[in-house]
Amino acid sequence: MKFKKIAVKIGSNVLTRADGTLDITRMSGLVDQIAVLHKKGVEVVIVSSGAVASGRSMLGLNKKMDVVDQRQLFSAVGQAKLINHYWDLFRNHGITVGQVLTTKENFGSRRHYLNQRNCMRVMLDNNVIPIVNENDTVSVTELMFTDNDELSGLIASMMDMEALIILSNIDGIYNGSPANPESKVIREIQRGQDISDFIQTTKSTFGRGGMGTKTTIARKIADEGIDVFIANGKTDNILLKLLDKKSDVICTRFVASTDEVSSVKKWIAHSQGFAKGEIHVNENAAKVLTGDKAVSLLPIGATSIIGDFEKDDIVKIIDPAGNSLGIGKAQYDSTKSRELLGKKNQKPLVHCDYMYLE
């Protein structure tokens, strides 16, 4: 087996038929493959969509109902159905699964993040396969994950997986329109390789995500040292083929960077949406920070502090032209940071070990 620890994201379009009902045959096929991997000692975390689509197919669209109400209702009903099926299908293999429902806010503070990570680690250590989904019943629209692709990236990074496999209803990223017979799947994407011309903007029917978010997430996760595959969940035995050293199944692989990234840096890298304030820096500091060496942000290089934040909160680092350079964990609260502005020989406002530059 190529990998010992994998996260598998199963998209709504893989799990649902054209009429929106759950495709149990497909689900069962994927479960059989995961069961084989599990028995071979591969640690698997599943991130499964399909709750909203499944709930919708059971209850039917109600045009008079508010969209948020609908999502909450469909996900409450659909998630119960989805997990029930997984439970039964895995039970046939003698494997126990557990449900993890999460929200974006759970990734915001380091305490919640570690708490979640611990929960899933305990499950894996006890041979239980976690099946993760967004808790759409309580998610607030503004604070939702872009889609489950984003969630699966966070989970793969949080759980230190070796690979993230995103299963969609397409073989990978094509170098043209997938509808054009001349187009081919790009088999490997290296760090920094520009593929913006190839990203289709059309979205799949049932899921929230599209190729754009898949690519953004895939790049970020690959840069953190995790191989990412975008593959077709409808291809027979896709997971077994992907993990087989000898097989060369069609898919797009984002090649993992070999640089080490600490777990704190990974958490910070995914915390952009949670910044509580901004530290503006001068020209000189911006230059040094974006240079080759890892340097901390010192008070002497800072020009202003925006917002109210506590020590350890996430803050944005902004250059004189107003561009965001990245984010980091504040070493001091905003009041103390303001007092230190421009002063020499002080400890950093943001230490380089707790900084993630874009």
Contacts to ligand GLU by CB under 6 A: 12, 49-53, 133-134, 136, 147-148, 207-209
Q: Which is nearer to ligand GLU, 62 or 205 (CB)?
A: 205
Q: How far apart are CA 76 and CA 92, in angstroms?
A: 25
Counting Cα atoms < 13 Å in the Cβ hemisphere of 170 gives 23
Q: How far is the CB of 134 from ligand GLU (least distance, A)?
A: 4
Q: How far is the CB of 14 from ligand GLU (least distance, A)?
A: 11
Q: How far is the CB of 131 from ligand GLU (least distance, A)?
A: 11
Q: Which is nearer to ligand GLU, 165 or 330 (CB)?
A: 165
Alpha-carbon torsion angle 297, 300, 304, 305, nearest 10: 50
Q: How far apart are CA 318 and CA 298, in angstroms?
A: 14
CB atoms under 10 Å from CB of 279, counted, come to 28
What's the N-to-C CA distance of the chain in angstroms? 34
Nearest to 297 by CA among 338, 353, 214, 216: 353
Q: How far apart are CA 333 and CA 318, in angstroms?
A: 17
> Which residues on neighbouring strands pair with residue 316, listed in sequence order?
278, 327
Q: Which is nearer to ligand GLU, 216 or 303 (CB)?
A: 216
Q: How far is the CB of 212 from ligand GLU (least distance, A)?
A: 13
> What residue spans of the chain are helical by DSSP H?
12-15, 24-39, 51-59, 67-91, 110-125, 148-158, 211-223, 238-243, 263-269, 283-289, 334-340
Q: How far is the CB of 77 from ligand GLU (least distance, A)?
A: 11
Q: Which is nearer to ligand GLU, 14 or 95 (CB)?
A: 14
Q: How far is the CB of 8 from ligand GLU (least distance, A)?
A: 14
Q: Which is nearer to ligand GLU, 9 or 280 (CB)?
A: 9
Q: Which is nearer to ligand GLU, 150 or 313 (CB)?
A: 150
Burial of 345 (0-12, 13-18, 19+ CB in 10 A): exposed
Q: How far is the CB of 343 from ligand GLU (least distance, A)?
A: 47
Q: How far is the CB of 74 from ligand GLU (least distance, A)?
A: 8
Q: Which is nearer to ligand GLU, 52 or 289 (CB)?
A: 52
Q: Which is nearer to ligand GLU, 62 or 304 (CB)?
A: 62
Q: How far apart are CA 147 and CA 171, in angstroms?
A: 19
CB atoms under 10 Å from CB of 39, counted, come to 11
